[in-house]
Amino acid sequence: MADFDDDYEDFVDTSIPARSEYELNAGIQDRSNQVRGFVSSGRFAEAVAKALEDPPAGRDAQGAKDKNLQVVMEALAAPRGTDIPVIVKQLAPYQLDTLMKFVYRGMAYPEAFNPSVLLTWHEKVTEVTGLGSIVRVLTDRQTV
Amino acid sequence: MSFPEVHQLLHGIPITCHAFNKDRTQVAVSPNNHEVHIYRKAGTSWTLSQILEEHDKLVTSIDWAPETNKIVSCAQDRNAYVWTLDAASGQWKPQLVLLRINRAATFVRWSPREDKFAVATGSRLIAIAHFDVDNDWYITKHIRKPIRSTVLSIEWHPENILIAAGCADMKARVFSAYVKGIDAKAANPVWGEKLPFGTVCGEFGTTNGGWVHDVAFSPSGNVLAWVGHDGNVSFSYGPQGPVFTALSTGLPLVSLSFVAEDAVVAAGHDCIPFLFKMTGQQWEIVDRIDKGNAKSASTENSAMDMFKKMASRAQTTADVELNSRHQNTITSVRPYLTQGDRVTMFSTSGVDGKLIIWRL
Protein backbone atom coordinates (compact mmCIF):
# COMPACT_ATOMS: atom_id res chain seq x y z
CA MET A 1 0.00 0.00 0.00
CA ALA A 2 1.27 3.39 -0.94
CA ASP A 3 2.31 5.82 1.73
CA PHE A 4 -0.10 8.52 2.71
CA ASP A 5 1.49 11.88 2.26
CA ASP A 6 -0.55 14.91 3.03
CA ASP A 7 2.03 17.22 1.58
CA TYR A 8 0.62 20.55 0.61
CA GLU A 9 2.99 20.49 -2.37
CA ASP A 10 1.15 17.45 -3.63
CA PHE A 11 -1.89 19.49 -4.47
CA VAL A 12 -0.29 22.69 -5.71
CA ASP A 13 -0.74 23.00 -9.43
CA THR A 14 2.85 22.66 -10.59
CA SER A 15 1.83 23.13 -14.21
CA ILE A 16 1.75 26.86 -13.46
CA PRO A 17 5.39 28.02 -13.27
CA ALA A 18 6.50 29.94 -10.17
CA ARG A 19 7.75 33.39 -11.13
CA SER A 20 10.55 35.15 -9.28
CA GLU A 21 10.45 38.68 -7.92
CA TYR A 22 13.00 39.71 -10.54
CA GLU A 23 10.74 38.54 -13.39
CA LEU A 24 7.68 40.21 -11.98
CA ASN A 25 9.08 43.56 -10.84
CA ALA A 26 9.04 45.30 -14.21
CA GLY A 27 5.39 44.35 -14.78
CA ILE A 28 4.35 45.57 -11.36
CA GLN A 29 6.23 48.86 -11.77
CA ASP A 30 4.64 49.39 -15.15
CA ARG A 31 1.19 48.59 -13.80
CA SER A 32 1.74 50.87 -10.83
CA ASN A 33 2.54 53.81 -13.14
CA GLN A 34 -0.53 53.20 -15.27
CA VAL A 35 -2.79 52.84 -12.23
CA ARG A 36 -1.47 56.14 -10.84
CA GLY A 37 -2.08 57.76 -14.21
CA PHE A 38 -5.71 56.56 -14.25
CA VAL A 39 -6.26 57.58 -10.64
CA SER A 40 -4.89 61.12 -11.13
CA SER A 41 -7.14 61.63 -14.14
CA GLY A 42 -10.15 60.32 -12.21
CA ARG A 43 -10.63 57.16 -14.31
CA PHE A 44 -11.13 54.92 -11.29
CA ALA A 45 -12.81 52.00 -13.06
CA GLU A 46 -9.88 51.68 -15.44
CA ALA A 47 -7.46 52.00 -12.54
CA VAL A 48 -9.10 49.07 -10.72
CA ALA A 49 -9.30 46.92 -13.84
CA LYS A 50 -5.64 47.62 -14.61
CA ALA A 51 -4.55 46.90 -11.03
CA LEU A 52 -6.25 43.50 -11.13
CA GLU A 53 -4.41 42.40 -14.27
CA ASP A 54 -2.10 39.37 -14.08
CA PRO A 55 -1.56 39.35 -10.31
CA PRO A 56 1.40 37.44 -8.85
CA ALA A 57 -0.33 34.43 -7.31
CA GLY A 58 0.17 30.93 -5.98
CA ARG A 59 3.84 29.99 -5.97
CA ASP A 60 5.02 33.37 -7.28
CA ALA A 61 7.53 35.27 -5.14
CA GLN A 62 6.08 36.66 -1.93
CA GLY A 63 7.97 39.95 -2.36
CA ALA A 64 6.27 40.54 -5.69
CA LYS A 65 2.88 39.72 -4.19
CA ASP A 66 3.48 42.29 -1.45
CA LYS A 67 4.44 45.01 -3.94
CA ASN A 68 1.47 44.19 -6.14
CA LEU A 69 -0.84 44.41 -3.14
CA GLN A 70 0.23 48.04 -2.67
CA VAL A 71 -0.73 48.82 -6.27
CA VAL A 72 -4.16 47.22 -5.95
CA MET A 73 -4.84 48.92 -2.62
CA GLU A 74 -3.97 52.29 -4.14
CA ALA A 75 -6.53 51.69 -6.89
CA LEU A 76 -9.19 50.51 -4.41
CA ALA A 77 -8.69 53.44 -2.03
CA ALA A 78 -9.00 56.08 -4.74
CA PRO A 79 -12.71 56.22 -5.66
CA ARG A 80 -15.40 57.63 -3.40
CA GLY A 81 -17.73 55.16 -1.69
CA THR A 82 -20.60 56.04 -4.00
CA ASP A 83 -18.52 55.17 -7.07
CA ILE A 84 -17.72 51.67 -5.87
CA PRO A 85 -20.98 49.96 -6.96
CA VAL A 86 -20.64 51.53 -10.41
CA ILE A 87 -17.10 50.19 -10.81
CA VAL A 88 -18.08 46.73 -9.53
CA LYS A 89 -20.81 46.53 -12.18
CA GLN A 90 -18.24 47.10 -14.92
CA LEU A 91 -16.00 44.20 -13.87
CA ALA A 92 -16.23 40.68 -15.29
CA PRO A 93 -16.89 37.74 -12.95
CA TYR A 94 -13.26 36.58 -12.99
CA GLN A 95 -12.10 40.11 -12.14
CA LEU A 96 -14.52 40.23 -9.21
CA ASP A 97 -13.06 36.97 -7.88
CA THR A 98 -9.56 38.43 -8.07
CA LEU A 99 -10.78 41.63 -6.46
CA MET A 100 -12.26 39.61 -3.60
CA LYS A 101 -8.94 37.89 -3.03
CA PHE A 102 -7.26 41.29 -2.65
CA VAL A 103 -10.00 42.54 -0.33
CA TYR A 104 -9.26 39.64 2.04
CA ARG A 105 -5.50 40.04 1.66
CA GLY A 106 -5.80 43.76 2.38
CA MET A 107 -7.97 43.22 5.45
CA ALA A 108 -5.17 41.14 6.94
CA TYR A 109 -3.25 44.42 7.45
CA PRO A 110 -5.69 46.84 9.04
CA GLU A 111 -2.86 49.16 10.11
CA ALA A 112 -1.72 49.60 6.50
CA PHE A 113 -4.97 49.64 4.54
CA ASN A 114 -8.24 51.24 5.54
CA PRO A 115 -10.57 48.34 6.47
CA SER A 116 -13.74 50.39 6.12
CA VAL A 117 -12.99 51.01 2.43
CA LEU A 118 -12.30 47.30 1.96
CA LEU A 119 -15.54 46.40 3.72
CA THR A 120 -17.43 48.59 1.28
CA TRP A 121 -15.79 46.78 -1.64
CA HIS A 122 -16.58 43.46 0.03
CA GLU A 123 -20.23 44.40 0.40
CA LYS A 124 -20.63 45.62 -3.16
CA VAL A 125 -18.86 42.63 -4.71
CA THR A 126 -20.98 40.17 -2.69
CA GLU A 127 -24.11 41.92 -3.90
CA VAL A 128 -23.14 40.96 -7.44
CA THR A 129 -21.51 37.54 -6.99
CA GLY A 130 -23.42 36.19 -4.00
CA LEU A 131 -21.48 34.08 -1.51
CA GLY A 132 -19.81 32.38 -4.47
CA SER A 133 -16.84 34.74 -4.66
CA ILE A 134 -16.14 34.31 -0.92
CA VAL A 135 -16.23 30.52 -1.27
CA ARG A 136 -13.81 30.73 -4.19
CA VAL A 137 -11.38 32.91 -2.22
CA LEU A 138 -11.43 30.37 0.61
CA THR A 139 -10.65 27.39 -1.60
CA ASP A 140 -8.31 28.92 -4.16
CA ARG A 141 -4.66 27.95 -3.77
CA GLN A 142 -3.64 30.67 -6.24
CA THR A 143 -3.44 33.17 -3.38
CA VAL A 144 -2.47 36.73 -4.18
CA MET B 1 -49.94 14.57 -4.56
CA SER B 2 -48.52 17.98 -5.16
CA PHE B 3 -44.88 18.52 -5.93
CA PRO B 4 -42.37 18.69 -4.48
CA GLU B 5 -43.25 15.71 -2.29
CA VAL B 6 -41.58 16.22 1.08
CA HIS B 7 -41.05 13.15 3.24
CA GLN B 8 -39.56 13.64 6.67
CA LEU B 9 -38.14 10.12 7.07
CA LEU B 10 -35.96 10.89 10.06
CA HIS B 11 -36.12 13.47 12.80
CA GLY B 12 -32.90 15.08 13.92
CA ILE B 13 -30.83 12.51 12.03
CA PRO B 14 -29.20 13.13 8.66
CA ILE B 15 -29.86 10.94 5.63
CA THR B 16 -26.36 10.15 4.41
CA CYS B 17 -27.51 8.69 1.10
CA HIS B 18 -30.56 7.15 -0.52
CA ALA B 19 -31.40 4.73 -3.32
CA PHE B 20 -34.79 3.80 -4.77
CA ASN B 21 -35.78 0.43 -6.19
CA LYS B 22 -36.93 0.10 -9.79
CA ASP B 23 -40.64 0.89 -9.39
CA ARG B 24 -39.96 3.52 -6.69
CA THR B 25 -42.04 1.70 -4.08
CA GLN B 26 -39.11 1.22 -1.74
CA VAL B 27 -36.15 3.34 -0.75
CA ALA B 28 -32.97 2.40 1.08
CA VAL B 29 -31.37 5.11 3.21
CA SER B 30 -28.45 5.34 5.55
CA PRO B 31 -29.56 7.09 8.75
CA ASN B 32 -25.99 8.26 9.38
CA ASN B 33 -25.04 5.08 11.23
CA HIS B 34 -24.09 1.46 10.53
CA GLU B 35 -27.57 0.43 9.42
CA VAL B 36 -29.36 0.48 6.10
CA HIS B 37 -33.06 1.31 6.50
CA ILE B 38 -35.54 0.23 3.87
CA TYR B 39 -38.74 2.21 3.68
CA ARG B 40 -41.80 1.02 1.84
CA LYS B 41 -44.35 3.32 0.27
CA ALA B 42 -47.73 3.18 1.97
CA GLY B 43 -50.20 5.49 0.27
CA THR B 44 -48.49 8.84 0.22
CA SER B 45 -46.08 8.23 3.05
CA TRP B 46 -43.14 5.96 3.74
CA THR B 47 -42.92 3.42 6.53
CA LEU B 48 -39.83 1.67 7.79
CA SER B 49 -40.05 -1.96 6.70
CA GLN B 50 -36.62 -3.47 7.19
CA ILE B 51 -33.29 -2.73 8.81
CA LEU B 52 -30.19 -4.28 7.28
CA GLU B 53 -27.47 -4.71 9.87
CA GLU B 54 -24.13 -6.08 8.84
CA HIS B 55 -21.80 -3.10 8.64
CA ASP B 56 -20.24 -1.97 11.89
CA LYS B 57 -19.43 1.60 10.93
CA LEU B 58 -21.21 4.43 9.15
CA VAL B 59 -22.75 3.40 5.85
CA THR B 60 -21.49 5.95 3.33
CA SER B 61 -23.27 4.95 0.17
CA ILE B 62 -26.03 2.67 -1.15
CA ASP B 63 -27.09 1.73 -4.65
CA TRP B 64 -30.05 -0.39 -5.73
CA ALA B 65 -29.78 -2.22 -9.06
CA PRO B 66 -33.18 -1.84 -10.76
CA GLU B 67 -33.23 -5.01 -12.90
CA THR B 68 -31.39 -7.56 -10.75
CA ASN B 69 -32.95 -6.07 -7.60
CA LYS B 70 -29.70 -6.19 -5.64
CA ILE B 71 -28.59 -3.60 -3.13
CA VAL B 72 -24.95 -2.76 -2.67
CA SER B 73 -23.83 -0.82 0.39
CA CYS B 74 -20.41 0.36 1.48
CA ALA B 75 -19.21 1.79 4.75
CA GLN B 76 -16.39 3.23 6.77
CA ASP B 77 -15.71 -0.28 8.07
CA ARG B 78 -13.87 -0.83 4.73
CA ASN B 79 -16.43 -3.36 3.56
CA ALA B 80 -19.08 -3.55 0.93
CA TYR B 81 -22.04 -5.91 0.99
CA VAL B 82 -24.26 -7.04 -1.83
CA TRP B 83 -27.77 -7.73 -0.53
CA THR B 84 -30.02 -10.19 -2.32
CA LEU B 85 -33.69 -10.61 -1.53
CA ASP B 86 -34.53 -14.13 -0.46
CA ALA B 87 -37.93 -14.68 -2.06
CA ALA B 88 -39.07 -17.32 0.41
CA SER B 89 -38.41 -15.42 3.63
CA GLY B 90 -38.60 -11.88 2.26
CA GLN B 91 -35.31 -11.13 4.00
CA TRP B 92 -32.26 -9.44 2.50
CA LYS B 93 -29.20 -11.71 2.57
CA PRO B 94 -25.80 -10.02 2.67
CA GLN B 95 -22.73 -11.17 0.81
CA LEU B 96 -19.40 -9.69 1.79
CA VAL B 97 -17.26 -8.19 -0.95
CA LEU B 98 -13.52 -8.27 -0.28
CA LEU B 99 -12.40 -4.81 -1.28
CA ARG B 100 -8.81 -5.22 0.00
CA ILE B 101 -8.58 -1.63 1.25
CA ASN B 102 -7.23 -0.12 4.46
CA ARG B 103 -9.34 3.03 4.56
CA ALA B 104 -13.06 3.73 4.43
CA ALA B 105 -15.19 2.98 1.41
CA THR B 106 -16.86 6.25 0.46
CA PHE B 107 -19.12 5.72 -2.53
CA VAL B 108 -20.62 2.85 -4.52
CA ARG B 109 -22.51 2.54 -7.80
CA TRP B 110 -23.74 -0.38 -9.92
CA SER B 111 -22.73 -0.27 -13.56
CA PRO B 112 -25.61 0.37 -16.02
CA ARG B 113 -25.76 -3.34 -16.94
CA GLU B 114 -25.53 -4.27 -13.26
CA ASP B 115 -22.78 -6.83 -13.86
CA LYS B 116 -20.10 -4.74 -12.08
CA PHE B 117 -19.95 -2.11 -9.40
CA ALA B 118 -17.38 0.49 -8.48
CA VAL B 119 -16.40 1.45 -4.94
CA ALA B 120 -14.60 4.71 -4.21
CA THR B 121 -12.27 4.52 -1.23
CA GLY B 122 -10.02 6.48 1.07
CA SER B 123 -7.15 4.17 0.12
CA ARG B 124 -6.57 6.34 -2.93
CA LEU B 125 -8.03 3.76 -5.25
CA ILE B 126 -11.23 2.66 -6.91
CA ALA B 127 -12.27 -0.96 -6.53
CA ILE B 128 -14.13 -2.46 -9.47
CA ALA B 129 -16.03 -5.59 -8.43
CA HIS B 130 -17.69 -8.26 -10.52
CA PHE B 131 -19.25 -11.59 -9.67
CA ASP B 132 -17.20 -14.71 -10.22
CA VAL B 133 -19.61 -17.58 -10.80
CA ASP B 134 -17.03 -20.36 -10.35
CA ASN B 135 -16.12 -19.29 -6.84
CA ASP B 136 -19.48 -17.74 -5.95
CA TRP B 137 -17.96 -14.47 -4.76
CA TYR B 138 -17.16 -10.98 -5.92
CA ILE B 139 -13.71 -10.30 -7.32
CA THR B 140 -12.28 -6.79 -7.12
CA LYS B 141 -9.68 -5.07 -9.25
CA HIS B 142 -8.05 -1.79 -8.24
CA ILE B 143 -7.58 1.41 -10.20
CA ARG B 144 -4.74 3.24 -8.42
CA LYS B 145 -2.94 5.59 -10.73
CA PRO B 146 -2.79 8.55 -10.69
CA ILE B 147 -5.14 8.99 -7.71
CA ARG B 148 -3.47 10.98 -4.92
CA SER B 149 -6.21 11.24 -2.32
CA THR B 150 -9.59 9.92 -1.22
CA VAL B 151 -12.03 9.26 -4.04
CA LEU B 152 -15.37 10.82 -3.13
CA SER B 153 -17.73 9.94 -5.94
CA ILE B 154 -18.23 7.65 -8.91
CA GLU B 155 -20.44 7.73 -11.95
CA TRP B 156 -20.68 5.11 -14.68
CA HIS B 157 -20.69 5.98 -18.34
CA PRO B 158 -23.90 4.62 -19.95
CA GLU B 159 -21.89 2.15 -22.07
CA ASN B 160 -20.79 0.17 -18.99
CA ILE B 161 -17.02 0.50 -19.62
CA LEU B 162 -15.94 3.91 -18.37
CA ILE B 163 -16.30 5.50 -14.97
CA ALA B 164 -15.82 9.03 -13.78
CA ALA B 165 -14.38 9.67 -10.33
CA GLY B 166 -14.33 12.83 -8.24
CA CYS B 167 -11.35 12.99 -5.94
CA ALA B 168 -10.08 14.99 -2.96
CA ASP B 169 -6.85 15.68 -4.86
CA MET B 170 -8.89 18.31 -6.73
CA LYS B 171 -9.30 16.31 -9.88
CA ALA B 172 -12.17 14.70 -11.75
CA ARG B 173 -10.98 11.79 -13.85
CA VAL B 174 -12.40 9.35 -16.36
CA PHE B 175 -11.07 5.79 -16.16
CA SER B 176 -11.66 2.61 -18.05
CA ALA B 177 -13.24 -0.07 -15.86
CA TYR B 178 -13.13 -2.65 -18.64
CA VAL B 179 -13.22 -6.18 -17.27
CA LYS B 180 -12.13 -9.04 -19.50
CA GLY B 181 -14.77 -11.72 -19.81
CA ILE B 182 -17.62 -9.36 -18.94
CA ASP B 183 -17.26 -6.51 -21.37
CA ALA B 184 -16.98 -6.77 -25.11
CA LYS B 185 -14.02 -4.90 -26.59
CA ALA B 186 -15.01 -1.30 -26.58
CA ALA B 187 -13.93 2.01 -27.96
CA ASN B 188 -15.54 5.34 -27.38
CA PRO B 189 -15.41 8.10 -29.99
CA VAL B 190 -15.14 10.77 -27.30
CA TRP B 191 -13.09 9.23 -24.51
CA GLY B 192 -10.67 6.96 -26.35
CA GLU B 193 -10.10 4.18 -28.86
CA LYS B 194 -8.19 1.72 -26.68
CA LEU B 195 -9.60 1.16 -23.26
CA PRO B 196 -7.76 -1.49 -21.24
CA PHE B 197 -8.55 -1.58 -17.51
CA GLY B 198 -7.28 1.48 -15.63
CA THR B 199 -6.70 3.72 -18.66
CA VAL B 200 -6.97 7.38 -17.72
CA CYS B 201 -9.21 8.85 -20.40
CA GLY B 202 -9.38 12.35 -19.00
CA GLU B 203 -8.22 14.43 -16.06
CA PHE B 204 -9.75 17.77 -15.14
CA GLY B 205 -9.08 20.22 -12.33
CA THR B 206 -11.34 22.65 -10.53
CA THR B 207 -11.10 26.26 -11.65
CA ASN B 208 -10.47 27.79 -8.24
CA GLY B 209 -9.03 24.80 -6.43
CA GLY B 210 -11.19 22.81 -4.07
CA TRP B 211 -11.67 19.07 -3.98
CA VAL B 212 -14.20 17.44 -6.28
CA HIS B 213 -17.44 16.49 -4.52
CA ASP B 214 -19.33 14.80 -7.29
CA VAL B 215 -19.16 13.86 -10.96
CA ALA B 216 -21.83 13.08 -13.57
CA PHE B 217 -22.07 11.93 -17.16
CA SER B 218 -24.67 13.32 -19.55
CA PRO B 219 -27.25 10.82 -20.90
CA SER B 220 -25.12 10.27 -24.04
CA GLY B 221 -21.96 9.94 -21.94
CA ASN B 222 -20.21 12.58 -24.04
CA VAL B 223 -20.23 15.34 -21.44
CA LEU B 224 -18.69 15.11 -17.99
CA ALA B 225 -19.73 17.50 -15.25
CA TRP B 226 -18.16 17.92 -11.84
CA VAL B 227 -18.61 20.13 -8.78
CA GLY B 228 -15.77 21.25 -6.58
CA HIS B 229 -15.64 22.80 -3.15
CA ASP B 230 -14.93 26.13 -4.87
CA GLY B 231 -18.64 26.07 -5.70
CA ASN B 232 -18.17 25.94 -9.47
CA VAL B 233 -19.77 23.43 -11.80
CA SER B 234 -17.50 22.52 -14.71
CA PHE B 235 -18.33 20.67 -17.90
CA SER B 236 -15.99 18.90 -20.29
CA TYR B 237 -16.75 17.70 -23.79
CA GLY B 238 -14.15 14.95 -23.87
CA PRO B 239 -10.41 14.88 -23.14
CA GLN B 240 -9.64 17.32 -25.94
CA GLY B 241 -12.98 19.07 -25.96
CA PRO B 242 -13.76 22.47 -24.52
CA VAL B 243 -14.27 22.94 -20.78
CA PHE B 244 -16.98 25.25 -19.49
CA THR B 245 -17.32 26.54 -15.97
CA ALA B 246 -20.48 27.93 -14.42
CA LEU B 247 -19.71 30.11 -11.42
CA SER B 248 -21.98 29.47 -8.50
CA THR B 249 -23.49 32.36 -6.62
CA GLY B 250 -23.68 30.55 -3.34
CA LEU B 251 -22.16 27.96 -1.07
CA PRO B 252 -20.47 24.84 -2.50
CA LEU B 253 -22.59 22.26 -4.27
CA VAL B 254 -21.98 18.65 -3.23
CA SER B 255 -24.08 16.54 -5.56
CA LEU B 256 -25.21 16.78 -9.15
CA SER B 257 -27.05 14.85 -11.81
CA PHE B 258 -27.74 15.43 -15.49
CA VAL B 259 -31.45 15.76 -16.26
CA ALA B 260 -30.97 16.20 -20.02
CA GLU B 261 -28.08 16.44 -22.44
CA ASP B 262 -27.97 20.19 -21.84
CA ALA B 263 -29.23 20.47 -18.27
CA VAL B 264 -27.92 19.59 -14.82
CA VAL B 265 -29.43 19.71 -11.35
CA ALA B 266 -26.94 20.41 -8.56
CA ALA B 267 -27.46 20.93 -4.84
CA GLY B 268 -25.44 21.29 -1.68
CA HIS B 269 -24.84 23.56 1.26
CA ASP B 270 -27.38 26.13 0.10
CA CYS B 271 -30.14 23.53 0.73
CA ILE B 272 -31.67 24.36 -2.65
CA PRO B 273 -31.39 22.42 -5.91
CA PHE B 274 -30.24 24.62 -8.79
CA LEU B 275 -30.82 24.06 -12.49
CA PHE B 276 -27.85 24.65 -14.81
CA LYS B 277 -28.36 24.82 -18.55
CA MET B 278 -26.33 25.18 -21.70
CA THR B 279 -27.67 28.46 -22.99
CA GLY B 280 -26.14 29.33 -26.33
CA GLN B 281 -22.41 29.25 -25.78
CA GLN B 282 -22.17 28.95 -22.01
CA TRP B 283 -23.32 26.82 -19.10
CA GLU B 284 -25.02 28.89 -16.44
CA ILE B 285 -27.45 28.80 -13.55
CA VAL B 286 -30.92 29.34 -14.94
CA ASP B 287 -33.18 28.54 -12.03
CA ARG B 288 -33.47 27.70 -8.37
CA ILE B 289 -35.81 24.76 -8.33
CA ASP B 290 -36.94 25.39 -4.77
CA LYS B 291 -38.77 28.70 -4.97
CA GLY B 292 -39.18 28.76 -1.21
CA ASN B 293 -42.25 28.32 0.92
CA ALA B 294 -44.94 30.89 1.07
CA LYS B 295 -44.27 32.19 4.55
CA SER B 296 -47.92 32.05 5.50
CA ALA B 297 -47.79 28.28 5.88
CA SER B 298 -45.40 28.50 8.81
CA THR B 299 -47.20 31.30 10.58
CA GLU B 300 -50.01 29.16 11.95
CA ASN B 301 -48.61 28.96 15.41
CA SER B 302 -50.34 26.31 17.37
CA ALA B 303 -49.89 26.16 21.10
CA MET B 304 -48.08 22.87 20.62
CA ASP B 305 -45.71 24.60 18.20
CA MET B 306 -45.02 27.34 20.68
CA PHE B 307 -44.12 24.95 23.47
CA LYS B 308 -41.95 22.93 21.13
CA LYS B 309 -40.01 26.03 20.23
CA MET B 310 -39.74 27.05 23.87
CA ALA B 311 -38.41 23.64 24.74
CA SER B 312 -35.89 23.39 21.94
CA ARG B 313 -34.72 26.98 21.58
CA ALA B 314 -36.00 28.77 24.69
CA GLN B 315 -37.80 31.16 22.35
CA THR B 316 -41.36 31.39 21.14
CA THR B 317 -41.17 33.56 18.07
CA ALA B 318 -37.69 33.35 16.58
CA ASP B 319 -37.87 32.60 12.86
CA VAL B 320 -35.03 30.18 12.28
CA GLU B 321 -36.58 28.38 9.34
CA LEU B 322 -34.78 28.63 6.05
CA ASN B 323 -36.97 29.65 3.18
CA SER B 324 -36.51 26.32 1.43
CA ARG B 325 -37.91 22.77 1.57
CA HIS B 326 -34.66 21.30 2.82
CA GLN B 327 -33.60 22.80 6.11
CA ASN B 328 -29.99 21.62 5.91
CA THR B 329 -27.35 20.57 3.42
CA ILE B 330 -28.53 18.37 0.57
CA THR B 331 -26.22 15.37 0.42
CA SER B 332 -27.50 13.54 -2.61
CA VAL B 333 -29.32 14.27 -5.87
CA ARG B 334 -30.56 11.31 -7.91
CA PRO B 335 -32.83 10.80 -10.92
CA TYR B 336 -36.29 9.56 -9.95
CA LEU B 337 -38.25 9.34 -13.20
CA THR B 338 -36.66 9.22 -16.65
CA GLN B 339 -38.61 9.64 -19.87
CA GLY B 340 -36.44 8.96 -22.90
CA ASP B 341 -33.29 11.02 -22.43
CA ARG B 342 -34.84 13.44 -20.00
CA VAL B 343 -35.17 13.17 -16.27
CA THR B 344 -38.56 14.61 -15.38
CA MET B 345 -38.42 13.96 -11.65
CA PHE B 346 -35.49 13.73 -9.25
CA SER B 347 -35.03 13.06 -5.56
CA THR B 348 -32.85 14.72 -2.95
CA SER B 349 -31.96 13.75 0.59
CA GLY B 350 -30.27 15.86 3.19
CA VAL B 351 -28.85 16.38 6.63
CA ASP B 352 -32.31 17.49 7.78
CA GLY B 353 -33.59 13.90 7.47
CA LYS B 354 -35.86 14.76 4.56
CA LEU B 355 -36.33 12.93 1.30
CA ILE B 356 -37.86 15.19 -1.34
CA ILE B 357 -39.14 14.28 -4.78
CA TRP B 358 -39.12 17.16 -7.25
CA ARG B 359 -40.74 17.60 -10.62
CA LEU B 360 -38.91 19.58 -13.29
Q: Residue A1: its chain B contacts at CB < 8 A?
A: 102, 123
Cβ–Cβ gap A135/B251 under 8 Å: yes
The answer to whether A135 contacts chain B (CB < 8 Å) is: yes
Least confident span in A58-62, B60-64, B156-160 = A58-62
pLDDT at B356 over 60: yes
Distance (Å) from the alpha carbon of B172 to chain A's nearest alpha carbon? 13
Nearest beta carbon to residue A1 from set B123, B229, B252: B123
The closest alpha carbon to B343, from B259, B266, B220, belongs to B259
Q: Tell me, what's the pLDDT at A16?
A: 77
> B163-187: per-residue pLDDT in tens?
999 999 999 999 999 999 999 887 8
Does any CB of chain A come closer than 8 Å to the CB of residue B142?
A: no
Interface contact B123-A135, CB threshold 8 A: no
Q: Is the pLDDT of residue A2 over 50?
A: no
Q: Residue A8: pLDDT above 60?
A: no
Element (H, E) at A132: helix A132-139
CA distance B52 to chain A (A): 31
Within an 8 Å CB–CB cutoff, is residue B144 touching chain A?
Answer: yes
d(Cα B149, Cα B126) in Å, to the nearest integer?
Answer: 11
The Cα B214–Cα B154 span in angstroms is 7
pLDDT at B168: 94
Task: Among B230, B247, B250, select the one facing A139 at the smallest CB separation.
Answer: B230
User: In this complex, do B230 and A130 lie within 8 Å of one another by their Cβ atoms?
Assistant: no
- Rounded Cα distance between A38 and B51, Å, is 69
Closest approach of A141 to chain B, Cα-based (Å): 6
Contact list, A93 vs chain B (CB under 8 Å): 247
Phi and psi torsions of B228, nearest 5°: -115, 170
Is it the case that residue A101 has pLDDT exceeding 70? Answer: yes
| Cβ within 8 Å of B, A 70-99 | 93, 97
The 3-state secondary structure of chain B reads CCCCEEEECCCCCCCCEEEECCCCCEEEEECCCCEEEEEEEECCEEEEEEEEECCCCCEEEEEECCCCCEEEEEECCCCEEEEEEECCCCEEEEEEECCCCCCCEEEEEECCCCCEEEEEECCCCEEEEEEECCCCEEEEEEECCCCCCCEEEEEECCCCCEEEEEECCCEEEEEECCCECCECCCCECCCECCCCCCCEEEEEECECECCEEEEEECCCCCCEEEEECCCCEEEECCCCCCEEEECCCCCCEEEEEEEECCEEEEEECCCCCEEEEEECCEEEEEEECCCCCCHHHHHCCCHHHHHHHHHHHCCCCCCCCCCCCCCCCEEEEEEEEEECCEEEEEEEEECCCEEEEEEC
The residues with which B260 forms a beta bridge, in sequence order, are: B263
Average pLDDT over residues B190-208: 92
pLDDT value at position A41? Answer: 96
**B102 contact residues in A (CB cutoff 8 A):** 1
Interface contact flag, B248 A132, Cβ < 8 Å? yes
Q: Do A140 and B208 make contact, defined as CB atoms within 8 angstroms?
A: yes
* Nearest chain A Cα distance for residue B352, angstroms: 22
pLDDT value, residue A106? 96
Residue B308 banded pLDDT, cuts 50, 70, 90? confident
Complex confidence, ipTM: 0.84
3-state secondary structure of A140: coil
B282 and A CB contact within 8 Å: no
Report chain B residues whose CB lies below 8 A from the CB of A11: 148-149, 169-170
Does the beta-carbon distance from A136 to B230 stay under 8 Å? yes
Helix crossing, A62-77 with A44-51: angle to 10°?
170
Rounded Cα–Cα distance for residues B186 and B139 (Å): 21
B210 contact A CB<8A: yes
| Predicted confidence (pLDDT) per residue in A117-132, tens digit | 999 999 999 999 999 9
Question: Pick from A97, A132, A141: which is nearest to B249 by CB?
Answer: A132
Phi, psi of B137 (to 5 degrees): -150, 175
pLDDT tens for B71-106 read 999 999 999 999 999 999 999 999 999 999 999 999
Percent of chain B with pLDDT over 90: 82
Min Cα separation B30/chain A (Å): 29
Average pLDDT, chain A: 91
Q: Which domains does chain B have, with CATH numbers?
A: 5-290+325-359 (2.130.10.10)
Residue B54, min C-alpha distance to chain A (Å): 26
Residue A11 has pLDDT above 80, yes or no: no
pLDDT of residue A1: 42
Task: Please indicate whether, in this complex, the C-beta atoms of B209 and A142 are within 8 angstroms of each other.
Answer: yes
Query: Which tens digit of pLDDT belongs to each residue from B222-251?
Result: 999 999 999 899 999 999 889 999 988 899
Dump pLDDT digits (tens) for B139-154: 999 999 899 999 999 9
At residue B297, does pLDDT exceed 50? no
Contacts of B147 in chain A (CB under 8 A): none
**Nearest-angstrom CA–CA distance, B97 and B82:** 7
Contact (Cβ atoms closer than 8 angstroms) between residue B55 and residue B100: no
- Domain A17-139 part of CATH 1.25.40.190: yes
- pLDDT, residue B144, reads 95
Question: Is residue B296 pLDDT above 60, yes or no?
Answer: no
Contact: B249, A10; criterion CB under 8 Å:
no
Is residue B232 less than 8 Å (CB to CB) from chain A? yes
